[in-house]
Every structure is written in C-alpha cells, then in structure tokens.
A and B are shown apart, each in its own frame.
Chain A
Amino acid sequence: MNRRDFLRKASLLGFGATAPTLFGVPGFVKPAWALQSMDDADFILPEVMPQVINVFLYGGPSELAGNLTNMDLINRNSQNPYPEELRRSIDDGGQVTRHGFWAEAGGLAMEDMLASGDLSVYRTINRRKNNTRAHRPSVFSSLKGSLAIEAAPGMGSTIAALMHANGSQLNGSAPLRGKHMNQLVLPFVSFEGSSTAFVRDPDGQLPLHLRGLSLDEQFDNPYTRGRNDHDLELEALIAKVVDSSQRIRYQQVAEGLELRRTMEQLIGELQSAADSPLPSPPPIAPGVADPDTDPTTGYLAYPANNRFSARIKAAVTLAVENQDSLFITVGGGLGGWDDHASAMEDYVPRMNQVMEALRVAMKHIRYADISHGGRRRTDNIVIKVHGDFGRNVNLNNSQGWDHGNNQNLYTLGGAAIRPNRALGKVVGRTDVSGPANQNRQYTQPADGSYEAEPLAIASTLYKYFGAQNPQALTRDAEQNPAGDAAINETYPPEPPVSI
C-alpha cells in the first residue's frame, strides 16, 4: 500500500483526524527524502549563527491588527458592522495607524517597532498549496515546514538534522564559537511542552544533544531528586541494567531519565540568570525615561498583567543568556486565537498584549548587546510570530471571525543574519474577496503584490541556518515537489496608508 492509498483508506476509517499520533510510528511512510534533502539543501556555514524564537499563535490570529487597509470594503460587505473608528486614522480620532495597523490591537507598539527598525510585517502569507482551513493540517504544516504532515519532522528537528548533517563544517567553527555541537547547552528548547516543531524524523536519528528539550517560563526545576541517599549506587546499577535494547525499547523515557541529571544543573543556572535585572535603557530624551522601564529601578520591565510577558521574557532571557540556544519555540497557553466569537472583546486586548510584550523583548535584546554594555552581540536573535492561518474578515453573528487563509507574519530582530533593509517595513497588499453579507469573505494578495506560502517561514529559518537551497527541506514528492523558497526579505516596502 503506498501512502496515497493509505491516506485514502485511513480517511475512510477516520484516521485522518488523528494525524498527530501517526508521526512517532517507525516504519510508516519512510521519509527517505529527509537524508536526500539534507544534501540538496546546499549548506554553507553561516557567518553568524542565528538564534530563533518561534512564537506560534495557535488557533489562527486575525490579520486585522496588522492590516486595516481594506476596512471600508470589509465593513460594507460584513454581515455585522465594525466600529466606525476602524475606518478613521488615529490623527482623526480613529484606530488606523500610519501603516494601517489597528492602534488598540497592538498597532501603536507595531509602529514603535517599525520605526526602531525592529520589525517587519508581511501581510500576504497566503496558503494556496493544499488550501486548507482546518486547524490540524495548518498547524502541522506550519510547524513542520512541509505539506507531508504525516511524515515530515518538525522544523526544529529539521534545523537540528541540517546541522548534524553538516557537523564537519560546524564543529569547532567560529559561528559556534569554537564549540563542537555536542558541547552546545540546550540548543533546541520548547516553552510549550511537547511541540510539533520538535517531532522527530522516525528514520533520521538525531543525537540526544540535538533534540528538543522543554522548559517552563519560571525555569522551574522538576529535575531535582529529593531523598536521594543511594543515588550513586542505584545509578550505577541502572547503567548496567538499562542496556541498549532497553534504551531503544523505552526510548523516550530512557532519554528523559538520562537528561535529568544534566538538566538539574542547567536549570539552576538559568534560574539565577532569570532572577537578574534586565538591562537599563537610555532615556529617550533628556530627562525622559524609556516608557518600558520600571520607574523605581530604571530597568526594563515586561508589562504586568500581560499573559504573554512571562513566556516571551523567558524565551528572550534564555536566548540572551545562553548563546547555545539556537531554536526556541513559544506557543500553547498563549491565549488561543481561534476567535470565532466575541472577537472585539477578546482579540483586541490580547493582540495588544503580544505586541507590547514584544516591544519590550526587542529592547531587552538590544540593550543586552555588547554595544550597550552587554557581554555579546545580540543582533542574531530573531523572533517570528505567526499562526495556523488567517481568518475571514466578515464579522459573523457571534461577533467573531471564522477560518481564513491569508495571515500576517511579524518578524523581529536579527539584523545580523538578514539582508540589508529587511527590517522596518510592511510588505504585501491585500484586497477583499467573497460575496457581500455572507460569511466567507477574506483578504487575498492584491494583483502584483508580494506573497508567500506559510512554508516559506520555515524555509527562511533554514536559510538563516545555512541552507542555500531551503526549498529542498520543504518539498515532498506528492504535494509540493518544488518546495518553497525563503521569504524575499529584500522586497520593497509598501508606502504608508492614506486615509
């Protein structure tokens, strides 16, 4: 039975919905492409090793926070009216910022970050291949960087595999600061527990030190062992008894137990780092402190009463303090973006919280840089923010938005690993499609606009890590034979909006 036959039969038997469970199954749908792709990726040692924080907004956030440019037509066609202020500029008492962002939905923070050269917004990440609006295939393809969602590993695992396959160039190299890969501490980290981004290639075994590990935002340390009087003797016996056959048979638990001791010590060090004060930014004008500082201490402070602050701060702290952390996933527990109802009440403050936390995150990174008295350069730290898909723009009868295709990518930081003029701009224009007064209304790239598939986000990350031909890592023979190229970060920006 080939894969297509299997999938058809599985669908008939209802297996399709259980795709997540199919991945860890050795022997199913051999992804022979994986090893081949590593060769085809055309690896060149990057000059600067990136550190990527991938913030995934599960549920699929609406694009409107970053794109009110079509609001007149959207409102005319919507089944339910939008607030009038979404069609007026902030200069006129409305909500539309200079670049067409939604002021109260994080738009002001976005404008700040755009002006400081920390952010670019891509408005036309549009799924045309395998044009699904279902959560599972969208989440899986986005976090795996592949449409072959049954077989492909997560994008974090693919980056690890790319590095592993090119160890001869990387080990001892300047981008790794002379380190061997097996000396890297916490290179792949999840702040969301078990993450699709770290699903393994069942056939491509990664060494233990390159596999995803998970931490929590408090750097809580469950790896300690209390009442450990006979530790040495018992561990010695375990080392004899748990042989290679047991390690294979009980692989995940055996690895978990093996990693525990290392983690116990590492977490302790991170806890100390997390407790240290953040950098202190300079005043924005004589006598005027940066608004993101704590007035009593003068140090940067992530916003209080913000559900994203702790996790984003933890991820940035890890990246800043531990240069070995190369790929960090953040997601889950971030509010749930499946805004089918009550969107105005929920989405607007939530999006604002994300963007305000990110604005502080970018300052945290900048002022930890050696140019501001830090210990190292931090302009290799990139943050990517995206989700399952976009949403329709019709405001439905539950005052929410149903699943759509077009979404924004918010990409921040990392000037040292991007081409010139990659930051501080908005790319992509949209127009509205779908019949008036019906639910299925959505934006799509306007004629002549730049656009990219969601897989291009993974492809871009692979490129940062040295793949000159990252399409090879996103392709699969059946659904996406050409793969997807990286986002063209040199594409010219759209002009500010005029309202």
Chain B
Amino acid sequence: MKTGYEQVSFSRIMIWATVSWMLTACEPGSPQLGGASPLSGKPASGRVAPLSDAAFEGLPLDDQYRVINKLMATLFTGLPVAEFYALDATEPLSRRRQDALRLSDIRTQLQLDLQAESRQQYDREIAGGTSTTMDDDGQALEVEPMFHFDGNRPKQMPLARMFHYPLSRDSFSQWMAWHLANTILFSPAEEIDSADITDVQNIFRRLDLGIMSGQSIRAMVATHQNSVQNWRRFRSPEDNTREMMEIYLGLFDRDADVPLASQACQDLYLTDESDGYKLAYTDYPNTEAVLVLDRYVVNCRDFYDVVAGHPLLIPRVASVLVDYFFAGHSVEDRLAITRSISDSQPVTFEDIFLAILFSETYLLDTERARSFEEGFLPMAKRLQWDAHPDLFRGMISGNGGLSRTHMTEMGWPSMSFKLGRVASIPLDSLSFGNYHKALRESLMLDSRRWRTALGVQQPAQPSPTPVEPLKADATAREIASHQSELAAYHQAVSELSDEERALHQRELAAYEIEAELYRHIDDLTIPQLVDYLFLTAVQRRASVEERRELINLFYAHGHLDAEYANAFARAGRQDDIALITLDYLSRLPELYYLPRLR
C-alpha cells in the first residue's frame, strides 16, 4: 500500500500527465472554415461545427449581414449598413460591397495582435496622454481623451478598449477577459467588503495577460486559485475549498470532502479588515495526507492542483460559457454543445470562445436576449454614434451625462456579484425598464450624435472651405471668380500651422466620406431609406405593413417631397424620418434579441 506522500506524488503526476496530454493534443486549424481555427486542441465539430465560408456565402445577402452583425454584436461592436451594402448601385442595398467584411475576415482579425505602438496610440486616444507627434515648437502634443473615467476605471477601460480598438486579438482578449471576470469563474466580487476595485484591476489584467500569452485554462485556474483575490472572495478554508469544487468542477454537496480540503488549506487565512485583507500563513500547516476528490493532498496548493487538473474542469468551464451564449436552447441542447466543446479538447479559453462564436449553432440557430453591452455598443457602432465621453462612466458608475445607462440599475453590474452574473439577462420589469429607456433615449433618439455619420444630415464643410470645381461651361467671369476664390483658399491653408494643416486634411477626408454617404442616402427612395434604417437597427427590412404605416406617418408630418410625388424625403428631413423610425424600432421586442436565422 502506498503511503500518503507517495499517493500525493502520484496524484500530481497524474494531474500533470493530464495537463500535458491536453497541451499536446493540438492539430493545425482548417483554413477554409468560416469558424475559427482552433489554436490548440482539435477542430470544433458536432454541435459546435463552424459555419463554413461556403455556407456563409450561400446565405441570402441580408442573412449574411445578420450573421456578421450577430457575431459582432456578441463582441460588443457592429458593422454599419454602408460598410456592407453597396449604396452607389442602381439598386442600392441589393448587393454586397466588394470590400465588405466577411466571416473569414473577422476570424482572421481576431487572431492578429495589434502592433504595440498601435495599441499604445489607441490607448492614448481613449484616455488621453502625450503623443509621439511634436507640435511646431517641438513640444509633444497632448492627446485629448475620448472618454472620461472615474474611480471605476479598471472596469471602464476594458469596455473603452473593446469599443475603440479595431477587431484584433487585443480587443478579443479584452472581451474574453470581460466575460470570464463577469462569470462565476473569475468574478472579483467587488460587492463584498473584502474586495475592492484593485481586485477588479488585478484579476482582469491577469486574465488578459494569460489569454494574450496563450496560457492554458488549467494554468489560469491554478494561478487564480492561489491568488489573494480568490481568498478575498472566499475567505476561509472551508468556504474557499467548497467553492473551488463547486465553481470549477460543478461538484455540489461534497460535504464529506469540504472538511478534508479545508484541513489541507488550514495553513492559509485572510487577515481581517484592519490588517488589509491579506493572504497569510497560519504557521500551523497540515501535515496529514487527506483524501479529497479521490486524491491525497497535504496542503492547499495540492488541493488547487487537483482542481486545476481534474477531468471535470474543462466541461464545467465550457458549460458556464455555453449557458450564457446558448441561453434559449434546451438543457439537452446545451449539454450536447458542452460535450462537443469538451470533445474538441480545448486547451485555452480562446479555443472555447472561438468554437462558440463561429459555430453554426450559435450563428444560425441561437436566439437570446442581448445583454446591455450587446445591445447598446453595437447599435452605437452601426449608427456611427459620436460616442459620448461619459459613456463608460455612465454604464459602470451611473455618473455623468449618460447616467441613465447604468448597468447596475438593469440588474447587470459588472464584476460585482460574488457568484458572477447569472447566465440569463435580467428582464424583470425594472431592469428592462432601465435598459429600454437607456437604449432609446441615450442612443437611438440622440440624433445629434449620429445623424451626420449615418448620412441623414448634410455634413458641414471644414474651414477653410475648399472651392467647388469649375463647371465645364464656365464663363470668363466665373473662371476669374473661381481663380480668386482658389487663391484665397490656398492662402488660408498656407497660414495654418503644420498641426492645423494636418487636422484640416483629416477633416477634409472625413468630410468627403460623409458627404458621399449623404449623397447616397439623399438619393434613396423613401422605402429604401426605411430599409436602410431598419437594417441599421434590426438587420432586416421593413415589412409591407411597417413600410406603409411609417410612410403615412412621414407624409402626415410633412417629411416627404411633394415635388417628387412623395417618393423621396424632403430636403433636410431625412434625420426626422430616421428619428421616427428609430423610435418605432426601439419599441420592437426583437430589437433586444440576437436573432435566430433558421
């Protein structure tokens, strides 16, 4: 018979053998798949078989747009209609732009790291700072921050990064860490006395670093269990060990194991409030090998190794994520999906998230309520909303000009609950009342911040204002006048500093894009304009009834151009039409769901 210590050693070997086996079970990905290539483990299959490029290309045009936006909304971003559909065609909105984003593009982008310098630049744009660009006097320029932050910056910055970074592995990592830190798996539990915002910062950062450096799930769980943040959430040996078995293995009612596991962990304790809730040794370590989860352990590290190496860890972790992303599926379905993920032997969290996101089951067959992040932020992107600088203060802290977006009021605080957010989005009357009001009033009716970028208002020209090209049949007087205006323009530009000139160039470029979009939108017939707005908000076209009723409403309020038999919007009324249409759409239940396509 083995002694306790021999058995401990054996158990450790078994754990590491399991881990090693998981680590080496890699196969190269399959590049033709619309679903992501797994970074490790086997290609996803079964209920998480990826939607292939061919299947994506075979979808009707509007369904392709829905799929792209469903995926992007899940990632808290969105693709504007004008970046997917050709608007300059004879029949606008009837074909895809040549350069439109496809499923395979998203997959590729999510696996590409940003250059370090680019990432720093994006961070400067988000939070302000000293630019690497010099002004005319050789002084480094100060970058104006896009967003305002407060004491909850560790929660606000990740959202700002997801919102501002381009699709990339960096933005994806922030998004994965956000999900993990909001689940029961890694919640910092800021609501409890012993945890605070520094625990949020440290857990989030550790998750992001772990993901970006390709750490395995087992390694990340092992690291987290040993951290002071874990002990600030579960503060005594009995609490901590019980919760580790429940949270990471899904093993409840292990009342026989808990006292033994807590005996192994008796050498650790959390100091009290006056001593700063530090993790400390008692100086009375356990010396007796105890049998926990069919393995002998002596100390807490042994116990954590058993949990991190346990065969139930991966299915359990997968099931937590499956419960969220596949909410609305039957339990049997979710069980099958979890099994398919586990069968692919994922090694990293990235493997699991990629398998979920790009699966046919998720993209085509899943319908679930959007979280506020999945509702508001993608809508903001599709509307090309000029983001309010208080956006993330509002969402996280309920402060500033966008306090109405406070997610806590929606029963959806971030990284706060001891046991993480629940898998289903809170839709009780109060939570939903706050959600609806925030989405409608702070975004969909905030036309001042989207009407130009959406193309429903003529953009203002930057100053100095460029001179319009000369008409081919211009008279001598007109030619002379034009030359004079041109000279004045060049004179004004030459008087700008280098910095101002660069800014002017950027404004001109932006103006050209907005002006072109405005011309296209101005050319849309009313039914086409309505479809443009519907696609923006709910990624479908208006029904016959909706189109008829809304057009009647526009007509009744004088928004249609009688000169063209009311087939077009009156000049300057496109934004009024957009406002009414978006108000209508904000009242549609479907707006609050990620759609099922079949």
Looking at the complex, which of A218-226, A372-380, A421-429 is the stretch in contact with chain B?
A218-226
Asked if A16 and B251 make an inter-chain contact with CB atoms under 8 angstroms apart, the answer reads yes
Let me know if B250 and A14 touch, CB within 8 A: yes
Interface residues of B in 265-311 (CB under 8 A from A): 266, 269-270, 272-274, 282
* A233 & B553 in contact (Cβ 8 Å cutoff): yes
A16 touches B252 (CB 8 A): yes
Q: How far is the CA of A53 from the CA of B30 in the complex (A)?
A: 58
Residues of A within 8 A of B282 (CB): 397
Encode A1-43 as 1/0 by CB contact (under 8 A) with B: 1000010011111111110111011011000000000000000
Asked whether any CB of chain A lies closer than 8 Å to the CB of B589, the reply is yes
The answer to whether B430 and A213 touch across the interface, beta carbons within 8 angstroms, is yes
Which of these binds chain B: A68-76, A247-255, A356-364, A461-469? A247-255
Residues of B within 8 A of A223 (CB): 433, 437
Which residues of B525-584 are within 8 A (CB) of A?
543, 545-546, 549-550, 553, 580, 583-584
Closest Cβ neighbor of A258 among chain B residues: B589
CB atoms of B273 and A342 under 8 A apart: yes
Q: Assess whether B429 is in contact with A256, with CB atoms less than 8 Å apart.
A: yes
Min C-beta distance of A243 to chain B, whole Å: 11
The segment from A86-94, A190-198, A446-454 that touches chain B is: A190-198
- Verify if B148 is at the interface (C-beta below 8 Å from A): no
Report A25 CB to chain B, min CB distance, Å: 5
Task: Name A193's contact: one of B249, B424, B430, B553 (CB within 8 Å).
Answer: B430
In the complex, the answer to whether A403 meets B331 with C-beta atoms within 8 Å is: no
Bound-state CA distance A257–B437 (Å) is 11
A133 to B262, CA, bound (A): 15
| Measured CA separation A14–B553 after assembly (Å) | 53
A residues 148-176 near B (Cβ < 8 Å) are none
A194 touches B431 (CB 8 A): yes
Determine if B59 is an interface residue (Cβ-Cβ < 8 Å): no
- Among residues of B, the one whose C-beta sits closest to the C-beta of A211 is B429
Residues of A within 8 A of B63 (CB): none
Q: Does B516 contact A (CB under 8 A)?
A: no
Q: Is the interface of B mostly helix, strand, loop or mixed?
A: helix
Residues of chain B lying within 8 A (CB to CB) of residue A215? 430
Take A225-B440, A338-B418, A399-B272 as given contacts and tell me if A346 and B335 are in contact as well, using a CB distance cutoff of 8 Å: no
Q: For B316, list chain A residues within 8 Å (CB).
A: 13-14, 17
A238 touches B272 (CB 8 A): no
Q: Which residues of B contact A384 (CB under 8 A)?
A: none
- The answer, yes or no, to whether A398 is at the interface (CB within 8 Å) is yes
- Are B272's CB and A234's CB within 8 A? no
Quick one: closest A residue to B259, CB to CB? A440
Decide if A133 touches B255 in the complex (CB within 8 Å). yes
Q: Which residues from chain A contact B580 at a C-beta distance below 8 Å?
A: 230, 234
**B53 CB-CB contact with A under 8 Å:** no
Whether A212 sits at the interface, judged by CB under 8 Å, is yes
Identify the closest chain B residue to A392 (Cβ).
Answer: B238
List the B side residues contacting A14 at CB < 8 Å: 249-250, 312, 315-320, 338
Interfacial residues of chain A within 49-70, with CB under 8 A of chain B in the complex: 59
Residues of B within 8 A of A482 (CB): none
Output the nearest chain B residue to A252 by Cβ-Cβ distance: B427
B238–A20 touching, CB < 8 Å: no
Report the nearest A residue to B193, measured CB to CB.
A346
Please name the residue on chain A nearest to B326 by beta carbon.
A21
Do the beta carbons of A341 and B235 come within 8 Å of each other? yes
B381 interfacial contact with A, CB 8 Å: no
Chosen A-B contacts, 18 in total, with CB atoms closer than 8 Å, are A13-B316, A14-B319, A17-B246, A21-B423, A21-B424, A131-B255, A135-B419, A194-B411, A194-B426, A194-B427, A195-B428, A220-B409, A345-B272, A396-B236, A398-B269, A399-B272, A403-B242, A439-B262
